[in-house]
Amino acid sequence: MKLEFHSLTKCYGSHTVLDGITAQLNFPRALVLVGPSGGGKSTLLRLVGGLELTDEGTIRLDGELVPTHEKSLRLYRSGIGTVFQSWNLFPHLSAMANIMLPLTAVHRVPENEARKRALELLERFHLADHAHKRPAELSGGQRQRIAIARAVVIRPRLLLFDEPTSALDPEMTAEVLEVIADLKAEGRAFILVTHAMNFARVVADEVAFLAQGRIAEHGSAKDFFSTPRTPEATRFLERVLKY
Amino acid sequence: MTARHRTLNSVISFILGGVLFAGICYAVLRLATWQWDGVWEYRTVFWKGWITTIWISAAALLLSVIFGLTCALARRAPYPAVRWLAAGYVELIRGTPLLVQLLILFYVVADATGLQNRYAAGVIILSIFSGAYIAEMMRGGIESVGKSHLDSARAIGLTRGQTYRYVIFPQAIRHILPPLAGQAASIIKDSSLLSILGIAEFTLAAQQVNSATYSTLESYLPLAVGYLALTLPVSLLARKLEGRFRYET
């Protein structure tokens, strides 16, 4: 996949979150965004996902311009699978219904076909026994895996994970990371924002380091973790890998 | 407080309440000289009025839900003018008495627009009044749906209409139903004011019987009982719904 940013700027009120990013990121499957909190990782991901509009600049995904009008943006979003930090399942729907909704409502897949595809994923993620439970009856890890199933079921061109394990305990984190590694092995392309550095090191093809609204550096995971080029990244890695 | 104290407390309250109620009943029954014969002759007037109150209230409930929903959606419209109009309607109606609205809307607006049928006019005015309250309930219910769910809906690619249908309404309904049942009881009671427009509902029936028989208490006691017979089941339903939805959340 090829992701290009040109003078990308995003502000919330007077606060500049992304400050004129120009970069070209190539990654066969997994791009991981790392960096200090407030550095703009999540915002960049939301812009790529078409959930926010840019203030200035453009984004191209595999050469195609990310639209800026609500109608074409909705179509663009429907082809991308997004998983948020937490609480992104609909609480009034069962696990099964949550996974089926984008298929039946957005992609016009017939009910029985949608059910079949949802069940396949539930089985693959070892969740078949929980198909008829509502989110409140499930653990955090189960919920997050169902959210991933909902994002994957539409066979998206790209998956986006926004800190998918930040709200989970270590055991549940492991469950979720296993699923993400599994998706990579299957050949799915995704962008992941995470603070789980060891996982980032293992799963990433390409790493981009964001600080103060800019991509301070980017490169292969191997190079980034062994020999970071900027002092900010060096300091960041020293701090987060210390303990 | 221990369980034993609580039991003792409720027993004492029950006895005191019973004594008070018996005292009031005794005073009323003893002091009044009852003349039920005259009133009994007018029982069909009561019956017809009571039936009219039921269908007027039912029609007003249905119509006010439509008004309320329209207004609640209008308050979230992308156009500021529509939002202001809806907000103005809610504030204007909730800030003035129903009696004043009845007089103005019936004798000025309905007259000017050539709406001759006083029953239709009554139902519409009552619905305009009640719709403002229902609009606020619906707005509260819609706003109770977390922003993260709206985000998820957008991420999946749902349209605005689909988001309301699949995400917002199914979640908002649990916040809306209990107060809506309460509002239904209010509509039944408020419909009594339609008597001033000469609509032959339950209250007007009692007034007619009173002026024909001069038996005030005998005319108005059945009135209270008749309203209670309608509002009590609705209130019980409202409480039941509240309990059920609280348990589920």
Report the alpha-carbon distance of residue B25 to residue B28 in Å, rounded.
5
Domain limits for position B12: 1-31
Q: Do B14 and B70 sit in the same domain of this protein?
A: no
Q: Do A181 and A236 sit in the same domain of this protein?
A: yes
Whether residue A92 lies within 8 A of chain B, CB to CB, comes out as: yes
Place of tokens 């239709």: B120
Q: Do B61 and B164 sit in the same domain of this protein?
A: yes
SS3 assignment, position B248: helix
Q: What is the ipTM of this complex?
A: 0.87
Whether residue B41 lies within 8 A of chain A, CB to CB, comes out as: no
Q: Do A131 and A230 sit in the same domain of this protein?
A: no
Total domains in the fold of chain A: 2
Among chain B residues, the shortest Cα distance to A75 is held by B157
Q: Do A98 and A162 sit in the same domain of this protein?
A: no
- A50: which 2 tokens? 């078409």
pLDDT number for residue A66:
93
Q: Do A84 and B157 touch (CB under 8 A)?
A: no
Q: Do A28 and A72 sit in the same domain of this protein?
A: yes
Report the alpha-carbon distance of residue B3 to residue A101 in Å, rounded.
49
Total domains in the fold of chain B: 2
Q: Do B22 and B95 sit in the same domain of this protein?
A: no
Q: CB under 8 Å to A197, separation ≥6 — which residues?
A: A34, A225, A237, A240, A241
Q: Do A94 and A130 sit in the same domain of this protein?
A: yes
Which residues pair with residue A21 across a beta bridge?
A8
Report the alpha-carbon distance of residue B88 to residue A10 in Å, rounded.
36
Q: Do B166 and A91 touch (CB under 8 A)?
A: no
- B241: which 2 tokens? 């719904």
> Which of B156, B159, B169 lies closest to A102 in space, CA to CA?
B156
Instruction: Render the burial of B99-109: b for 16+ CB within 10 Å, e for the rest.
Output: eebbeebbeee
Q: Do A74 and A192 sit in the same domain of this protein?
A: yes
Q: Domain end: A121, A156, A191, which one?
A: A156
Q: Give tens-digit pLDDT for B110-125.
A: 888 888 888 999 999 9
Q: Do B12 and B54 sit in the same domain of this protein?
A: no
Q: Which ranges of chain B have pLDDT less than 50?
A: 249
Q: Domain end: A100, A121, A156, which one?
A: A156
pLDDT number for residue A103:
95
Which residues pair with residue A3 across a beta bridge?
A25, A61
Q: Do B157 and A78 touch (CB under 8 A)?
A: yes
Contact call for residues A47 and A56 (beta carbons, < 8 A) = no
| Residues of A whose CB is below 8 A from B162 | 105-106
- B208: which 2 tokens? 């007619």
Report the alpha-carbon distance of residue A1 to residue A30 in Å, rounded.
9
Provide the shortest C-alpha distance from residue A161 to chain B (in Å): 12
| Residues of A whose CB is below 8 A from B166 | 90, 101, 105
Q: Do A128 and A224 sit in the same domain of this protein?
A: no
Quick count: other Cβ atoms within 10 Å of Cβ A14?
Answer: 5
Q: Say which DSSP state A66 is in.
A: P
Report the alpha-carbon distance of residue A133 to residue A8 in Å, rounded.
42
Place of tokens 């000469």: B198
- Crossing angle of helices A140-152 and A170-186, rounded to 10°: 20
Q: Do A18 and A63 sit in the same domain of this protein?
A: yes
> Residue B202 is part of a domain; what is its CATH number?
1.10.3720.10
| Residues of A whose CB is below 8 A from B170 | 92-93
Among chain A residues, the shortest Cα distance to B170 is held by A92
Q: Do A102 and A63 sit in the same domain of this protein?
A: no
The answer as to whether A175 is a domain residue is: yes
Q: Do A179 and A142 sit in the same domain of this protein?
A: no
Q: Do B4 and B95 sit in the same domain of this protein?
A: no
Radius of gyration of chain B (CA): 23
Q: Do A98 and A75 sit in the same domain of this protein?
A: no
Sheet containing strand A190-193, edge to edge, reads A80-83, A158-162, A190-193, A30-34, A206-211, A214-220
Provide the shortest C-alpha distance from residue A205 to chain B (in Å): 25
Backbone dihedral angles phi then psi of residue B245, each to the nearest 5 degrees: -75, -30
Q: What is the β-pairing status of strands A158-162 and A190-193?
A: parallel
The answer as to whether A84 is a domain residue is: no
Contact call for residues B191 and B53 (beta carbons, < 8 A) = yes
Among chain B residues, the shortest Cα distance to A50 is held by B155
pLDDT number for residue B249:
47
Q: Do B226 and B176 sit in the same domain of this protein?
A: yes
Question: Nearest by CB to A74, which of B151, B159, B170?
Answer: B159
Q: How far is CA A108 from CA A88, A121, B70, B167, in A?
A: 22, 19, 29, 17
Instruction: Render the burial of B184-195: b for 16+ CB within 10 Å, e for the rest.
Output: bbbbbebbbbbb
Q: Do B123 and B170 sit in the same domain of this protein?
A: yes
Q: Give tens-digit pLDDT for A182-201.
A: 999 999 999 999 988 889 99
Q: Do B156 and A150 touch (CB under 8 A)?
A: yes
Contact call for residues A191 and A33 (beta carbons, < 8 A) = yes
| Residues of B whose CB is below 8 A from A92 | 170-171
Q: Do B123 and B55 sit in the same domain of this protein?
A: yes
Q: Which ranges of chain A have pLDDT less than 70?
A: 87
Q: Do A190 and A223 sit in the same domain of this protein?
A: yes
Quick count: other Cβ atoms within 10 Å of Cβ B229?
Answer: 10
Q: Is B143 exposed, middle or buried (0-12, 13-18, 19+ CB in 10 A)?
A: middle
Q: Do B66 and B22 sit in the same domain of this protein?
A: no
Whether residue A235 lies within 8 A of chain B, CB to CB, comes out as: no
Q: Which of residues 143-172 of B touch A (CB under 8 A)?
A: 146, 148-149, 151-152, 154-159, 162, 166-167, 170-171
Place of tokens 């139903």: B177
Backbone dihedral angles phi then psi of residue A33, each to the nearest 5 degrees: -100, 125
Count of CA atoms in the C-beta half-sphere (13 A) of A158: 21
Q: What is the β-pairing status of strands A56-61 and A2-12?
A: antiparallel
> Residue A31 is part of a domain; what is its CATH number?
3.40.50.300
Q: Do A51 and B149 touch (CB under 8 A)?
A: no
Q: Give tens-digit pLDDT for B170-215.
A: 889 888 988 998 899 999 999 999 999 888 888 988 898 888 888 8
- B87: which 2 tokens? 């907000």
Measured at the alpha carbon of residue A167, what is the angle toward residues A164 and A170, in degrees to the nearest 5?
90
Among chain B residues, the shortest Cα distance to A72 is held by B157
Q: Do B5 and B100 sit in the same domain of this protein?
A: no
Provide the shortest C-alpha distance from residue A59 to chain B (in Å): 17
Q: What is the β-pairing status of strands A64-65 and A56-61?
A: antiparallel
Q: Domain end: A134, A156, A178, which one?
A: A156
Contact call for residues A44 and A210 (beta carbons, < 8 A) = yes
What's the whole-number average pLDDT of chain A? 92
Domain limits for position A110: 90-156
Interface test with A, best of B144, B148, B152, B165 (most A CBs within 10 A): B152
